[in-house]
């Protein structure tokens, strides 16, 4: 609802509060322990370089008397930006002083829940901001502002990953597609020792069903070092952890290396970041705003990978696959 909270547009009731909205932020939870701080909109995600490839030298004794031509390795810097998250609340004095007027059924001894409308509204704004950050860190499209009226937008994981991409061509997710992705990351010099396959419920069901077809199964769920619930799948190239994510584009799964991912906050001096402050009075009510700036340090993008173009329909397994070998006479 837009506008100021008042007595008749936001009624009071008794009873336990149950939130129907999805407030999960698994990606943000996984990286929240590695916060970095900046006093600049643009920040560094790292430098990239490529060492020279080894070869088989063919140098004679005579040729060795003269030094070869000098070569060098160059570096390039990679960056991202923070962006603004901004929300406000407004509640009339009449509403604040009218919390004991209850709607709904009238039962002796009932009390309003919540008892403080202002605290309730502010808490829900923070929940919205967290979900907005979660979506931005996955789907955000990069833009660096060149004027005060232009918008800074942080680059999310989907846009960041460009090197290690496997196209599924509308096939359902299976263990071999995931294995191909791990091979691609390894061949790109990424670390595959602690990757997390970030999936939606369709892909989680599909990979589990496919594993069963090959006489395998996902490991039991447990909490990993980043505080997210994962299951393990052992593949020919290595073991990958599997976790349910949020805001994953349809037909896509990711392989994240969380060791190189972290949020970058840009605090306001003497105020901090994601702070609440009251706004100036314009009438009989309380108004305030929440302000914060944050961006994503995704690290070297080739440490991650994604599978795109997957079927969005779950294909149930029909039984365990039987592999037969025909001997040549």
- 35-81 pLDDT per residue, tens: 999 999 999 999 888 888 888 999 988 998 999 999 888 889 999 99
Rounded CA gap, 269 and 309, in Å? 45
* Predicted pLDDT at 325: 52
pLDDT in the model for residue 162: 97
What integer pLDDT is reported at residue 244 of this predicted model?
96
- Residue 8 burial (10 A CB sphere; 0-12, 13-18, 19+): exposed
Cα–Cα–Cα angle for 82, 130, 24, rounded to 5 degrees? 135
Domains and CATH numbers, the chain: 26-46+79-154+263-297 (3.30.2400), 163-261+299-308 (3.30.2320)
pLDDT by residue (tens digit) across 206-255? Answer: 999 998 888 877 889 998 878 889 999 999 999 999 999 999 999 999 99
Asked whether the predicted pLDDT for residue 323 surpasses 90, the reply is no
Mean pLDDT of the chain: 92
Query: 74 burial class (0-12, 13-18, 19+ CB within 10 angstroms)?
Result: exposed
CA distances from 295 to 38, 42, 81, 142, 262 (A): 10, 9, 6, 10, 9
pLDDT of residue 324: 54
């Amino acid at each position: 609802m837009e506008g100021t909270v008042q007595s008749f547009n936001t009624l009071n009731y008794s009873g336990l509060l149950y939130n129907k909205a999805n407030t999960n932020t698994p990606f943000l939870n996984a990286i929240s322990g590695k916060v970095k701080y900046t006093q600049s909109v643009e920040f560094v995600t790292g430098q990239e370089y490529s060492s020279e490839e080894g070869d088989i030298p063919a140098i004679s004794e005579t040729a060795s008397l003269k030094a070869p031509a000098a070569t060098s390795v160059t570096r390039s810097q990679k960056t991202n930006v923070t962006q603004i998250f901004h929300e406000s609340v407004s509640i009339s004095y009449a509403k604040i002083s009218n919390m004991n007027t209850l709607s709904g059924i009238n039962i002796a001894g009932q009390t309003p829940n919540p008892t403080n409308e202002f605290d309730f509204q502010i808490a829900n704004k923070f929940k919205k901001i967290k979900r907005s950050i979660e979506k931005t860190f996955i789907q955000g499209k990069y833009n660096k502002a060149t004027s005060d009226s232009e918008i800074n937008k942080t680059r999310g994981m989907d846009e960041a990953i460009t090197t290690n991409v496997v196209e599924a061509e509308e096939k359902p997710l299976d263990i071999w597609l995931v294995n191909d992705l791990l091979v691609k990351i390894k061949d790109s010099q990424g670390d595959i020792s602690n990757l997390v396959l970030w999936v939606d419920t369709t892909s989680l069901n599909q990979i589990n069903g496919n594993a069963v077809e090959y006489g395998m199964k996902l490991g039991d769920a447990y909490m990993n070092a980043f505080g997210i619930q994962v299951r393990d799948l052992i593949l020919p190239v290595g073991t990958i952890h599997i976790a349910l994510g949020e805001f994953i584009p349809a037909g896509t799964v990711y392989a994240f290396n969380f060791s190189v991912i972290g949020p970058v906050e840009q605090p306001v001096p003497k105020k901090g970041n994601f702070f609440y402050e009251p706004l100036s009075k314009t009438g009989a009510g309380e108004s305030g705003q929440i302000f914060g700036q944050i961006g994503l340090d995704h690290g070297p993008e080739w440490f991650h990978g994604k599978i795109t173009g997957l079927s969005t329909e779950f294909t149930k397994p029909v039984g365990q696959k039987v592999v037969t070998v025909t001997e040549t006479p």
